[in-house]
Amino acid sequence: MLAVLSGALAGFTALAVAELVSAWVRPQAGPVVAVGGAAIDRTPAAVKDWAIRNFGTADKLVLQLGILTVLAAFALALGLLGLRHRPAGTAGILVFGAVGAAAAISRPDSSGVVDALPSLVGAVIGALVLCTLLGRLQPSEATSAPGAAGQEAVTRSPGWDRRGFLIAASAAAAASAGAGAWGRVLNGGRGRDAVASRANVALPAPASPARPMPKGAQLRLPGVSPFITPNKDFYRVDTALVVPKVDATTWRLRIHGKGVTRPVTLTFDDLLRRDMVERDITLTCVSNEVGGPYVGNARWIGVRLDALLAESGVKPPSRGGPADQLVARSVDGMTLGSPVEDVMDGRDALLAVGMNGQPLPVDHGFPVRMVVPGLYGYVSACKWIEDIELTTFDDYDTYWVKRDWARKAPIKTQSRIDTPKPFARPAAGTVMVAGVAWAQHRGIDKVEIRVDDGPWQQARLAAEDSRDTWRQWSFPWQATKGGHTLTVRATDRTGATQTEQRARPIPDGASGWHSVVVTVD
């Protein structure tokens, strides 16, 4: 029992010390975050897909709790092992430290061997604590052997040193709690400059404002996703266990690579001095299942990426440029690759600094992110961006491409029934069926509804804002008693109708029709 407690205390000490050390190195180098991040890096795409589907944005929390649970179980076991064989228990803790250190160094944003320090220092101190505590629990091995130490142990107490254990255990617990709390405070404080710099951002008025939203773009129907998704409700998908807190005053963006005749490094003020454009653009995640929630529409403000690239001498492949891939890299080492041709074909590809009238929220990429209409987020929407490299698809595979997702991923035409909800029990009579449909950069031309195996009937479309945004739609259904299946499909402006063919999100986005089953009372 006390051995188990010793193990737990040693584990707690190790984590607390690691937290404190990570405050000096980098919060991302702490063992739980590092192991979690390394796990995300290595998780086969299918497992990740499953995790996102089941935990949604809570997947990261579940992952960290899982790591802590495993660590706790091993700490307890090491306590027991250590009671029988102290060196083995101690070595066990050091092995865990080594795993944490290796994970930290392996991360794409690692700043090198210093990232090993939190885990290593934590493990060494944890091992010392375990050794000390277990030492109090055991009669010294020397009791039966001659020698000064043995003599002392024999004369003191033949069993275990209760007082010594309690003092050592309490001291370890108190010191670790202190170290852990101090580490937390320091880690929290790190973001202060970033938060302050965000509070000081005044977004300039756009030189090219978004066209006023057409009156009819927002239907007044309960249950439909609002045309503009408020920032607080906007989906979030990224690999960051610790959200990068970037200070806008020291932020830099470098543009370089193949065909860049004038490489530049820009500051945040450099960006704000340029002409600002404001556009409504609907963002979609490739991991979104048919009918899923990872899509949102915001009013972005930022600078045109094509203009910046052109000033640096970049030409798209169709005009003889040598680079066909633009690799955006974030401060946390994430890489996303977009076709240069798409980014420079005149669409509103932005380096965005504002979202729905506010500086970018930290979760959504403060201070600067990319937004490219028509491309899934993982091939375009780099948050916390700090580097743009022009290269080729042959020469470089980005983070998700290395993990079997497609190199190129234009957004597929999709439609979703927002209301009624699955298994709803509406009353017979007129039931408003409504939802959203999107086909960014092509535009939505038509949405149709089918009740059971009946004919396709045209839904009423809300006014179009732009072809880069989703459209709401509605259909007054004369509902009759009994169970019914409602199915929706959209047709885009190229005339292509959303395919019935079901596909998983991997490798280039889910397809198929969204259906909702209801019972009419």
Ligand X SMILES: Nc1nc2c(c(=O)[nH]1)N[C@H]1C(S)=C(S)[C@@H](COP(=O)(O)O)O[C@H]1N2
**Chain residues in the site for ligand X (CB under 6 A):** 234-239, 283, 285, 330, 332, 334, 364, 377-378, 381-384
Handedness of CA 114, 119, 124, 125 (dihedral sign): positive
Contacted by 235, from ligand X, Mo ion, none: CB < 5 to 8 Å by type: ligand X
H or E element at residue 330: strand 325-330
285 interacts with Mo ion by CB under 5 A: yes
3-state secondary structure of 426: coil
Handedness of CA 503, 508, 514, 517 (dihedral sign): positive
**Can you tell me the distance from the alpha carbon of 117 to that of 101, in angstroms, rounded to the nearest whole number?**
7
Q: Which residue is nearest to Mo ion (CB)?
A: 285
**Can you tell me the distance from the alpha carbon of 194 to that of 185, in angstroms, rounded to the nearest whole number?**
16
Contacted by 401, from ligand X, Mo ion, none: CB < 5 to 8 Å by type: none
**Closest distance to ligand X from the beta carbon of 266 (Å):** 18
Contacted by 134, from Mo ion, ligand X, none: CB < 5 to 8 Å by type: none
Contacted by 470, from ligand X, Mo ion, none: CB < 5 to 8 Å by type: none
**Closest distance to ligand X from the beta carbon of 315 (Å):** 26
Q: Which is nearer to ligand X, 317 or 507 (CB)?
A: 507
Q: Which is nearer to ligand X, 8 or 503 (CB)?
A: 503
For residue 336, which of 283, 387, 295 has the smallest C-alpha distance? 387
Encode 156-180: b = buried (16+ Cβ within 10 Å), e = exposed: eeeeebeebbeebbeebbeebeebb
Q: State the CB neighbour count (10 A cutoff) for residue 149.
A: 13
Binding mask 338-377 for Mo ion (x = CB under 5 A): ---------------------------------------x
**Can you tell me the distance from the alpha carbon of 35 to that of 17, in angstroms, rounded to the nearest whole number?**
16
**Closest distance to Mo ion from the beta carbon of 295 (Å):** 10
Among the candidate windows 238-246, 286-294, 350-358, 414-422, which touches Mo ion by CB under 5 A?
A: 286-294
**Closest distance to ligand X from the beta carbon of 495 (Å):** 27
Q: Which is nearer to ligand X, 376 or 477 (CB)?
A: 376
**Closest distance to ligand X from the beta carbon of 76 (Å):** 34
Distances (CA, A) of 495 to 311, 446, 481, 490: 36, 9, 35, 10
> Are 223 and 14 within 8 A, CB to CB?
no
**Can you tell me the distance from the alpha carbon of 359 to that of 340, in angstroms, rounded to the nearest whole number?**
27
Q: Which is nearer to Mo ion, 169 or 285 (CB)?
A: 285
296 interacts with Mo ion by CB under 5 A: no
237 interacts with Mo ion by CB under 5 A: yes
**Closest distance to Mo ion from the beta carbon of 516 (Å):** 24
**Can you tell me the distance from the alpha carbon of 227 to that of 472, in angstroms, rounded to the nearest whole number?**
7
**Closest distance to ligand X from the beta carbon of 5 (Å):** 40
Contacted by 382, from ligand X, Mo ion, none: CB < 5 to 8 Å by type: ligand X
Q: Which residue is nearest to ligand X (CB)?
A: 377
Contacted by 283, from Mo ion, ligand X, none: CB < 5 to 8 Å by type: ligand X
**Closest distance to ligand X from the beta carbon of 420 (Å):** 26
Distances (CA, A) of 226 to 218, 284, 490: 7, 15, 19
Rama region for 342: left / alpha / beta (φ>0; ψ in -120 to 50; rest): alpha
Contacted by 389, from Mo ion, ligand X, none: CB < 5 to 8 Å by type: none
Q: Which is nearer to Mo ion, 238 or 306 (CB)?
A: 238
Between strands 429-438 and 471-479, the pairing is antiparallel
Q: Which is nearer to Mo ion, 25 or 295 (CB)?
A: 295
**Closest distance to Mo ion from the beta carbon of 288 (Å):** 8
Footprint of Mo ion on this chain (CB under 5 A)?
237, 285-286, 377-378
